[in-house]
Amino acid sequence: MELAWGDGTRMSGEGGRPRGRDDHAVVIGAGFAGLLTARVLADHYRAVTVVEKDVVRDGTVRRPGLPQAHHVHILLDRGVRALEALFPGMTAELSRQGAVPFDVCEMSAMLPRGWAPARPLDLPLTSPDRGVLDRLLRRRVLALPGVSLRDGFRVDALCLTPGPRGALCHGVSGRNAAGRNERLEADLVMDASGRHSRLPGWLAASGMATPTERALPLRASYTSRLYEEPAEGRWKPAAEITQAPAVARGAAAVPLAPGRWLVSLTGMGQRPPADESGFLDYARSLRNPHFSRFVIDGRPLSDVHTYSVNPNRWRLYHRIRSTPSGLLVVGDALCCFNPVYGQGMTIIALQALLLRRLLARRQAPSAFTASVPRVLIAPWLMAMAADIRWCPQQGNLSAMVTAHALGRLLDQAPADPDLYGRLFSVIHLARSPASLLHPSVLARLAHPRPAR
């Protein structure tokens, strides 16, 4: 089924654009990465078709292909500003849906060695309902001229043609909503199908080289429930941070709308229980007492939902010499991160801005593959440093030394507000990791103060 919702009204900054040099782009996946990518491509292609295996309607909020929508999602300040650049007015729309920003210092945050300092960091977070966010983005994207959605379409293969300089990808084939085989021709195919992307298998089936991967054999699990805040309650956002290898349990609680709070319990290498008593017992096992109060005092508004994922995987497409031209990979299909650090959506938004800059300079789309590692490398190294000690057999000496240093920083953060500010500014992608190499930081690590 082909859909083009919306009244066609052009939002400020989204219309009046010159059409580019190509006719048709196909985007695989109608999730966050796919919608942001389609928004960028709409400025440069006469037609953009987003294909999605799920059946999606205008009001769809929950769908089978987005099980993580039931759990806490965070947009960092850089992610919100990127969304606003792509979709002017989106910040106000999110606010009307109840996703009001709050500073990190407003959270009751338990670090591995004590409470986070109550120091304003000017690092606002926004906690949208993931399904609602996708619906807002979908409506905006499908209101753009030339953009359409083919829902219920399952891509099964790439359309490839050999050439003197390597293969050319000129479309996709699969089964449409009526169950019939169909082929979609395209000048560009973008794989935005998420962490379960089947692109390596499609390349292998066509006799093409497949990317090597950097990954950790780590399982992160989430169990979440939506609660109504009691009338007399004064809840505030809360977090408990995991740390390898000793602190495997964590949690986050954020407001989705006035009076509606989402509580996600997390486990590294373990799954928080999904039954009533087990959920409460797990919350009570945390050092941050706010989580048991959420569960005890709040009125449940949803079932308990669970989700497990293998985080931290980077498929190195930029190192394949024979990647078909006309094919790009974006979002979690390219590189995915441990959701516990709340960086994923922001990093995807930064990839969309990169693609936008490259196309605005009239560079070939293939420049994205060579350039995107610059967006990924810093958060990837931080994620690896944070998680490698869950899987020490996977780390080399350099990785373990970096992990030890990061652990020391996190240990000292409760007793050192300046260090805490530097560290979390890096985690929030607001400062370069190089800021942690400042002589004052290294001196404090050499002579650490006892954590509170």
Selection from 4-18, 96-110, 156-170, 252-266 with the highest mean pLDDT: 252-266
Handedness of CA 113, 407, 109, 268 (dihedral sign): negative
3-state SS class at 115? strand
Strand ordering across the sheet containing 313-315? 213-215, 313-315, 335-336
- Model confidence band, residue 11 (pLDDT cutoffs 50, 70, 90): very low
Which of 299 and 59 is assigned the larger pLDDT?
Answer: 299
The pLDDT assigned to 19 comes to: 36
Q: Which residues contact 98 (CB under 8 A, 6 or more apart)?
A: 129, 255, 256, 257, 258, 260
Provide the terminal-to-terminal Cα distance of the chain, rounded to the nearest Å: 59
Q: Is the pLDDT of residue 130 over 70?
A: yes
Q: Are 259 and 271 in contact (CB under 8 A)?
A: no
Ordered by where they begin, the domains of the chain are 2-66+133-215+311-375 (3.50.50.60), 219-309 (3.30.70.2450), 380-446 (no CATH)
Q: Is the pLDDT of residue 426 over 70?
A: yes
Q: Is the pLDDT of residue 366 over 60?
A: yes
Which of 60 and 115 is assigned the larger pLDDT?
Answer: 115
**Mean pLDDT throughout 48-66?**
93
Q: Which residues contact 317 (CB under 8 A, 6 or more apart)?
A: 211, 323, 329, 334, 369
The pLDDT assigned to 5 comes to: 34
DSSP per-residue codes, 176-229? -TTS-EEEEE-SEEEE---TT--HHHHHHHTT-----EEE----EEEEEEEEEP
Structure tokens at 259: 């009076």
Strands 108-111 and 114-115 come out as antiparallel
Counting Cα atoms < 13 Å in the Cβ hemisphere of 296 gives: 9
CB atoms within 10 A of CB 152: 17
Average model confidence (pLDDT) for the chain?
A: 91
Q: Is the pLDDT of residue 220 over 90?
A: yes
3-state SS class at 285? helix
**Mean pLDDT throughout 212-235?**
94
Q: How far is CA 292 from CA 57, 238, 285, 298, 339, in A?
A: 37, 11, 9, 10, 22
**Mean pLDDT throughout 197-208?**
94
The pLDDT assigned to 181 comes to: 97
3-state SS class at 335? strand
**Mean pLDDT throughout 31-39?**
98
Strands 213-215 and 45-52 come out as unpaired
**Mean pLDDT throughout 284-292?**
97
The pLDDT assigned to 76 comes to: 96
Q: Are 229 and 47 in contact (CB under 8 A)?
A: no
